[in-house]
Amino acid sequence: MPSDRRGLIWILLASAALLLLIAIGAVVVYLVIRQRPVTAASGWQDPIAAIAPDKIAPELALYPLAGASELEMIDAAIDNNELHTAYAALAFALNLRDEQRSGRLLQLGSRFSAAQEPDMARLASQQVYDLAILSPEMNDPLRVDALLADGKAWAQMGQEEEAGKAYDQVYTIALNSPYLQLAYRRDLLTRLATAYDALGQTDRAELCRQQMDRLTQGSQPQPSTPVSQTMELLANPLTPVSSAEIGALEESRRQAAYSVLQATAGGAAPPPDLVNNLAQALKAEDQAKLAFYQQEREATTQPSKRVNVDWSLIDWLTLKYRVAVQAFGLSIVPDWEQQAPAIQSDLSKAYEALRFDYEDLVTSLPDAALMEPGRYRVRRMLTLAGRLGQYPNYPEQQIADKLQEAARNMIAAGMTEPLYVYAQPDKNGLWFFLDPVDQYGP
């Protein structure tokens, strides 16, 4: 009997040990999964959320706040390998052309990969793809160049699905765009065939080679009726809204920022009194601008003027939010840092007001035939702003639906372009791509 009892005790002890090992294994797996970095391959990520204030060099980042060119500062940061400084500036800069932003993001993606920061490299590639597909201002040669480089970057990171998506869009543009010369189309298809072979997608590579033979025999796609020049009324941004008082306050802020900038030479911490002077200048500018923009908006019912005010407010709130999340590399206005969620909400509301004012502006265009092209352009632009993180918490599905509605209305009216943006649900969210007019939609 004692022997049986001892046997039972050993069985219970062994069972307990086994359960303990299973529990430990489960904890280890949980911790590994929890600590595994989230990558762009798992879905769209907000580019603003990736900004790392402790990796930003104030001695470079402060230059635009002092009145210097944002683009020149970004290039200087890239040249000095201050990658997070350049990334933060790109994320918040509103005054760059899309091809300028795309080119710098491609450079940053390559540098981040070399620096063993794959998550940041993927974020850069995500934005390059969105720019190439959604930009209403990039021409087709710029789009295919960006997409080819982006596909190569994805492939080098081992993200074959994303690389394939970028290459598929190059293929679509090469076959359907009327703005590419025949020799360039053949060159694109040759390069695509090589790229597909490298991905192991031999069927796609063979299709490219077949299309090269057909190009020499078939007719060229014909350009559609251009509407781009009539869309100048919808450019971003329009005329800035300002006053003598605001101009003086901006100059005071630039001088205060320059004093802090000089004090940060060599990476030194700036004296608190200089930082406080800059904070007070920013607060005074904020108070004056918010009151002035509200006054100007209430004083007019003209959609074009309201859009001007909206863009001026967005420009200011973007800078204010940049300060609030310490995207200049140091704490400048602690009060704003505590209010960062509220400032982000204000920025989102400003974009909402812009969205509705643009709808009114499009409706008031002198030629009714321009309304749907106008809506399509505006919705494309706002979708891109959302994907780049500039338009916080934007209603992605709602704007995507309206974008596609405008495209279908244009097609129905015979005002066709060769390619239209289409949004398709993906396992990780919405995926945007260009669809030929004769195949548009699901």
Report the chain's mean pLDDT, rounded to a whole number.
88
Query: Quick one: fold of 44-224?
Result: 1.25.40
pLDDT score at 220 = 61
pLDDT score at 89 = 98
Q: 267 falls in which pLDDT band (50, 70, 90)?
A: confident
Its pTM stands at: 0.88
Instruction: Report, as an integer, the average pLDDT of 8-36.
Output: 41
Q: What are the structure tokens assigned to 107, written together?
A: 């450079």
pLDDT score at 39 = 38
Q: 239 falls in which pLDDT band (50, 70, 90)?
A: confident
DSSP summary character for residue 80: T
Instruction: Let me know: does 327 contact 53? Beta carbons within 8 Å.
Output: yes
Give the span between the Cα atoms of 202 and 411, in whole angstroms.
Answer: 34
pLDDT one-digit tens code per residue, 162-186: 999 999 999 999 999 988 988 899 9
DSSP summary character for residue 431: E
Q: How far is CA 258 from CA 68, 84, 248, 288, in A?
A: 10, 21, 15, 21
Instruction: Report, as an integer, the average pLDDT of 91-107.
Output: 97
Long-range contacts of 106-114 (CB under 8 A, 24+ apart): 106/146, 106/149, 106/150, 106/153, 107/78, 108/78, 108/83, 109/153, 110/153, 111/78, 111/81, 111/83, 112/83, 113/153, 113/156, 113/157
* Domain assignments of the chain as residue spans, ordered by start: 44-224
In this structure, the chain runs to a length of: 442
Give the span between the Cα atoms of 63 and 201, in whole angstroms.
Answer: 47
pLDDT score at 350 = 98
Instruction: Let me know: does 187 contact 144? Beta carbons within 8 Å.
Output: no
pLDDT one-digit tens code per residue, 179-236: 898 889 999 999 999 999 999 999 999 999 999 888 766 556 655 554 544 455 555 4
pLDDT one-digit tens code per residue, 365-395: 888 888 999 999 999 999 999 999 999 999 9
Give the span between the Cα atoms of 122 and 182, in whole angstroms.
Answer: 33
Beta strand pairing status for 419-426 and 429-436? Answer: antiparallel
H helix runs in 157-229, sequence order: 160-176, 182-199, 202-215
Give the span between the Cα atoms of 189 and 137, in whole angstroms.
Answer: 24
pLDDT one-digit tens code per residue, 323-358: 999 999 999 999 999 999 999 999 999 999 999 999
